[in-house]
Amino acid sequence: MQSAGSVEEPSTAVPLLDDSSSTSKHEEDDHLDKKLSQKVWIESKKLWHVVGPAIFNRVATYSMLVITQAFAGHLGDLELAAMSVASNIVLGFNLGLLLGMASALETLCGQAYGAKQYHMLGVYLQRSWIVLFLCCILLLPLYIFATPILKLLGQPTDMAELSGFVSLCFIPLHFCFAIQFPLQRFLQSQLKTAVIAWVSVGALVVHVVVSWLFVYGFELGLVGAALTITFSWWIITVALFCYTVFGGCPLTWAGFSMEAFSGLWEFVKLSASSGVMLCLENWYYRILIVMTGNLQNAEIAVDALSICMNINGWEMMIPLAFFAGTGVRVANELGAGNGKGAKFATIVSVITSIVIGLFFWLLIMIFHNELALIFSSSKPVLEAVNNLSILLAFTILLNSVQPVLSGVAVGSGWQVYVAYINVGCYYLIGVPLGVVMGWVFDQGVKGIWAGMIFGGTALQTLVLMIITIRCDWEKEAEKASMHVNKWSERNG
């Protein structure tokens, strides 16, 4: 018998916390984490299916230019400066425009492929060839009159004359771009990327052998160095053309068609907006070299800056591969009507590229003393490059984000808007700030570069990030579906 104040003990103890609900919550969190990690893994595989071969392709083709400049650099300081000016200003100016115009295919072919309208890809490719070939003809005077143009821009007379001579040797390479760039975008949009990588690596091996043979074996000097890069790039172009035309793309290539000549004006407008968007980015650093050519002791300054630009350009092939991969993934998902998929592809691509950018930033900071040895043995040039290494490291870090966001813009068809952003950030803020820091504050090439990086590139990256974060992806998917259907009805 219990006392009056006692309380009867329950037969079964009741736990203070509900173990079943706690376990269920932990299992749900684990499931969500596992589901997220699986989604990241799947998206990363899709992304790297384009990015991996694109890195091989871009590193191989850019390495051809770097190897050519290295051969020129060991001929002499003037030869290195002339090759740098011809390739970075004359060739680079035209390359940027043609590369940008070809990126219209990333929007059109990518969205059409995602919508399973395969027949339109071959027609788009042929239209791009027509538009880019006509553009090449219009740009031809820039090569023919390169010497007086460079003198007008303030380049030293001896450098301008030798650069103009090299530019004439680049004319066959100029027309190669009109065929090769559309082929690459056409193949990338349908995930046929392995062939691009293998062909580029093979051409790189040929380029090394032919460069030594032309420059030292046949003793052609600077002319031999210029001709080898033309030869090697045409190997890639012919190989990709044969692959496409002779059975490599049975779904998307149905042969040459007169349809390619219809709807050209609409195609020209999209190509032009794509060209303006990307060439404004590409020309930005070419202007940096032009401005440096107007400094005192310009030959050493141009040599040092061109070496830094080559190293930056070499590493830049990785972010540019993410530009291509992101553009394809976003366009494919939007074409398929999957806005959430496009948003997730963007997030995965940006984070992956930033991690890689941090790795190369650290690499430059550690090995800043040895950077220029590949290109020159001149002590003044080596010291000048070492002084610019910190700016190079931060340029590489910033450029790990910006091209990916530009890829989102291309995949989404925002080229016109981004062109306006580029004009404002690069040319209304970045270039004037570079002039002020370089000449008014007497900081030379370091001031010009710092002003253009932090006043232009950093600001442009920030604006693109804000636009991407605020994007309504479901609305973009609806617009892409309407766009694909409109183009198909008009042109198919």
Burial class (CB in 10 A: 0-12, 13-18, 19+), 250: exposed
Mean pLDDT of 137-155: 87
Residue 489 pLDDT class (50, 70, 90 cuts): low
Residue 33 pLDDT class (50, 70, 90 cuts): low
pLDDT above 50 for 5: no
Mean pLDDT of 101-106: 83
pLDDT above 90 for 85: no
What is the widest separation between alpha-carbon atoms in the chain?
A: 116
Please state, in angstroms and as integers, the Cα–Cα distance from residue 62 to each residue in 5, 58, 73, 201, 399, following that order.
Answer: 90, 6, 16, 11, 17
| CA 272 – CA 283 distance, rounded (Å) | 15
Give the start-to-end residue ranges of the domains of the chain: 41-491
| CA 310 – CA 2 distance, rounded (Å) | 92
Residue 273 pLDDT class (50, 70, 90 cuts): confident
| CA 319 – CA 299 distance, rounded (Å) | 30
Among residues 467, 53, 452, 54, the alpha carbon closest in space to that of 285 is found at 452
Q: Which residue has the tokens 């001149």?
A: 378
Q: What percent of the chain has pLDDT over 90?
A: 26
Q: Which of 23-27, 109-113, 216-220 has the highest average model confidence (pLDDT)?
A: 109-113
Q: What is the average pLDDT score of the chain?
A: 83
State the pLDDT at residue 180. 94
Mean pLDDT of 75-96: 77
Q: Which one-letter amino acid corresponds to residue 208?
A: V
| CA 97 – CA 275 distance, rounded (Å) | 5
Mean pLDDT of 119-135: 91
pLDDT above 70 for 94: yes
pLDDT above 50 for 447: yes
Q: Which residue has the tokens 């219990």?
A: 2
State the pLDDT at residue 2. 42
| CA 57 – CA 74 distance, rounded (Å) | 26
Mean pLDDT of 235-261: 91
- Quick: pLDDT tens for 168-226: 888 999 899 999 999 999 998 888 888 999 999 999 999 989 888 887 778 777 888 88
Please give the DSSP secondary-structure letter assigned to residue 364: H
- Quick: pLDDT tens for 455-465: 888 999 999 99
Residue 297 pLDDT class (50, 70, 90 cuts): low
Residue 255 pLDDT class (50, 70, 90 cuts): confident
State the pLDDT at residue 34. 58
| CA 234 – CA 229 distance, rounded (Å) | 9
| CA 461 – CA 468 distance, rounded (Å) | 11
